[in-house]
Amino acid sequence: MSRRISRIIVFSLIFGGIACCVHSGAALAQSPDAAVRPPQNVRAIDTRGDEGGSITVMWDLSPDDYDGTAEAVTVIGYEIMRAESPGGPFASVGFASAGATRFADASTHDGTDYYYQVTASTSSGGPVSPVIGPVRSSPQWFNVNRANVFIIGIILSMSIIFYIASARRGKKLFIRRIAGLEAVQEAIGRATEMGRPILYIPGIQDMDDVQTVAGVTILGYVARTIAEYDTKIEVPTSRSIVMSTARETIKAAYIAAGRPDAYSDDAVHYVTDEQFGYVAAVDGIMVRDKPATCFYMGAFFAESLIMAETGNSIGAIQIAGTAMPAQLPFFVAACDYTLIGEELFAASAYLSNEPKQLGSLKGQDVGKSIAMLAIATGVILFTLHQVTRVQWFMDAGNWFKDLFLLN
C-alpha cells in the first residue's frame, strides 16, 4: 500500500518537476555529441524513510545507455549535478554507472531547496537533462520501507509474549523432551562419580552474539546442578565480558543451590581473545585435566571440531549446542548430543522449567506455524497461477511475497 502512495508522490513530483522546468529546455542544446541523448524523465524526491540529509534522484535510461555490447559512442554513466538555484551554478554530487536509474545524494542539508540535472556521460562530456526542482530533504519518524518488518515482528513477538503471559497465569503446557538436555543431569552425575571436572565452553564470541547469551544462561542452569552435586566446573572464556557474566551466573547458581561457600571466581578464567590461541589452551586443559564431561554451548567457528575431537579422544561425554549452521555437522559427528539451532535458544527455558519460560517455547511453535502458513499461502497462490493462468493469483502472490521483501 505504501508503495502505491509513494508512486503517487513520485508521479506528482515528476509532473511538478516537468512543469516548473520546461523553460530550461535550452540545456538540451548544450549537447556536444548529437548522437547521444540525455536521460529522460528526471525526477527527484526526498529519500524515504531516512534520517534526512538525502535526496533521491531518478531517471529513465538514456536511449543510448551502454548495454555492454555497442561499439559506438554510448553513455557510460550519469553525472548528478546539483545547485541551490535553478540557474546554477551546478556542481557534481555523484556519479552512477550505466544502467543505473537512481542515485541517492546523501550530502544535502535538510530544508534547503535544491535543483538537479543529470548528465549522460560519454568519454567526451555529454548531454544534460532539464533542471528539476526545488526539492528538500527531511528526516522521517517512521521508515515506511520497513513497515512489513515491523508488522511481522509484532505478530511473531506477540505470539511469544502471549504464551509467556498465559503460562504465567498458570496454563499448563506440554513440552517434549529434548534428548541433549535430558542428558545434562546424567553427564554431570558421571563426572561426579569419576571425580573429574566438567568443562564448559560458552562459545568463542563476545556477549554481543545472542548465542553467547544463550550459552551463558544455559551455564546458569547447568551450574545449579553442578553445585548440588558438588562437582568441579571449569569455564575458560575467550572474552572478558563473557568471563564477568559467567562469574555472575555461576555465583548466582551456587547461591540458588544453597552453597555460596563452594563458589570460587577461579572456576571461570580468561584465556585469550584469539580464536585458535583459545583452542590451543582448551585442548591443553582437556588432555591434562581429563574432564569427564564437556559442554559446548554458544557461537563456534572452525575450532568446534578441534575441541570436539580432542574431547572425544579423552573419552569425555560431550554435549554441544550452537546456531552456527556451518559448525553443526561437526558437533553432530563428534559429540554425544547436539542441540541444533533453535534448540540452543530453547535450552535455557527448558532447563529452567519455569512456566513462563516454557510458555515462550510454545510461542516459538506458534511462530513456526505462522511461518509455515505464510510459505504455504504463497506457494499455493503461485502454484494456482501456474496451473490456472489466472492473473489474479499472480498479483496476489506477488503482493504476498513482497510482504517479506527487505527494502
* 73 binds other proteins, rule: CB under 8 A: no
* 276 binds other proteins, rule: CB under 8 A: yes
- In the complex, the smallest distance separating the C-beta of residue 36 from other proteins, rounded to whole angstroms, is 16
**Pure H helices in 169-209:** 179-194
- In the complex, the smallest distance separating the C-beta of residue 29 from other proteins, rounded to whole angstroms, is 26
Pair type for strands 114-121 and 293-297: unpaired
Among 14, 41, 272, 396, binds other proteins (CB under 8 A): 272
* 313 binds other proteins, rule: CB under 8 A: yes
* 75 binds other proteins, rule: CB under 8 A: no
Question: CB under 8 A: which stretch of 25-33, 184-192, 226-234, 298-306 binds other proteins?
Answer: 298-306
* 372 binds other proteins, rule: CB under 8 A: yes
Local structure of 392: helix, strand or coil: helix
* 61 binds other proteins, rule: CB under 8 A: no
Give the 3-state secondary structure of 78-95. EEEEEECCCCCCCEEEEE
Site for other proteins in 330-369 (CB under 8 A): 330, 332-334, 340-346, 348-350, 352, 354, 356-357, 360-365, 367-368
Among 113, 182, 273, 395, binds other proteins (CB under 8 A): 273
* Burial class of residue 40, CB neighbours in 10 A (0-12, 13-18, 19+): middle
Distance in angstroms (rounded) separating the CA atoms of residues 116 and 112: 13
Nearer to other proteins, 18 or 136 (CB): 136
Contact 100, 118 (CB under 8 A): no
Question: CB under 8 A: which stretch of 15-23, 25-33, 124-132, 140-148 binds other proteins?
Answer: 140-148
Site for other proteins in 22-51 (CB under 8 A): 49-51
Contact 306, 283 (CB under 8 A): yes
Nearer to other proteins, 28 or 388 (CB): 388
* 311 binds other proteins, rule: CB under 8 A: no
* Burial class of residue 5, CB neighbours in 10 A (0-12, 13-18, 19+): exposed
* 8 binds other proteins, rule: CB under 8 A: no
* 280 binds other proteins, rule: CB under 8 A: yes
Please give the DSSP secondary-structure letter assigned to residue 271.
-
* 57 binds other proteins, rule: CB under 8 A: no
* 252 binds other proteins, rule: CB under 8 A: yes
At position 281, the amino acid (one-letter code) is A
Would you say how long the chain is, in residues? 407
Among 58, 184, 239, 267, binds other proteins (CB under 8 A): 239
User: How far, in Å, are 47, 197, 215, 240, 378 from residue 322 at the CA level?
Assistant: 40, 22, 9, 20, 31
Distance in angstroms (rounded) separating the CA atoms of residues 168 and 68: 63
Question: CB under 8 A: which stretch of 21-29, 31-39, 83-91, 325-333 binds other proteins?
Answer: 325-333
Size of the site for other proteins (CB under 8 A): 141
Contact 402, 382 (CB under 8 A): no
| Binding-site string for other proteins from residue 79 to residue 118, where x marks contact by CB under 8 A and - marks none | -------------xxxxxxx----xxxxx-----------
Site for other proteins in 176-205 (CB under 8 A): 176, 178, 205
Distance in angstroms (rounded) separating the CA atoms of residues 120 and 104: 17
